[in-house]
Amino acid sequence: MPATVSLEAEVFSQEQIAGRVQELGREIDAHYSSGDLLVLGLLKGSFIFLGDLVRNIPRPLQVDFLVAASYGSGTTTSGDVRLLYDPETQLRGKHILLVEDIVDSGNTLNRLVRLLKGREPRSLEICALLHKRIAQSLEIEPRFVGFDAPPLFLVGYGLDHAENYRHLPFIASLKDPEGTDG
Ligand code: IMP
Ligand code: MG
């Protein structure tokens, strides 16, 4: 099926992102003074952000990933969450930093947070590249946020529309936001 959408405008440039990711790395480094840190990237959307972020955190850390899937069908984010890939790295007793591309309704994060809390980490914090600030109630408000996002459907730097545009080095809005399902 041919792409029926195209890019509208650049929202965050490559340079803006690089600068902010550097700052986030410093904030995160300063936040964790001791203990084991496990940076957990939520796939697929966080893959580029996570790669850039961890290279800006000088302290020792480990990296792993989560692949989550919602029960049920369709494009809604209701229902329960299960892990398609469960990090083999032991979570208990470690500082867990969950890295997400964008917080929209917050449903994905809320379900993951409940699941991860059950693994008894030493601490659990969230780092989101983008935050739309429309989530009604978040179990944990992200401590580290790259940018507040406008109420648009955004792509690039890991974010997709129907699996396209993840590779763009910048973040852009789409011309036709119809049928955007994350
Ligand atoms: P939430 O559960 O509603 O917070 O949705 C979070 C997930 O939806 C993100 O991890 C993305 O995969 C996807 N998503 C939400 N908004 C956007 C967007 O503007 N562009 C691309 N993906 C999005
Ligand atoms: Mg997505």
Give the pLDDT confidence of 20-57 residue by residue, as tens digits. Answer: 999 999 999 999 999 999 999 999 999 999 999 999 99
Please pick, among 36, 52, 86, 104, the residue that the annotation labels catalytic.
104
* Residue 159 Cα to ligand 2 middle (Å): 6
More confident residue, 54 or 5: 54
* Residue 134 Cα to ligand 2 middle (Å): 17
Distance CA 89, CA 86 (A): 9
Residue 4's pLDDT band (boundaries 50, 70, 90)?
Answer: low
User: For residue range 163-174, what is the model confidence (pLDDT) as tens digits?
Assistant: 999 999 999 999
Distance CA 41, CA 44 (A): 8
| pTM value > 0.85 | yes
What does the pLDDT read at residue 100?
Answer: 97
Q: Is 156 in the pocket of ligand 1 (CB under 6 A)?
A: no
Burial (Cβ within 10 Å: 0-12, 13-18, ≥19) of residue 147: middle
Nearest-atom number in ligand 1 for the CA of 104 is: 4
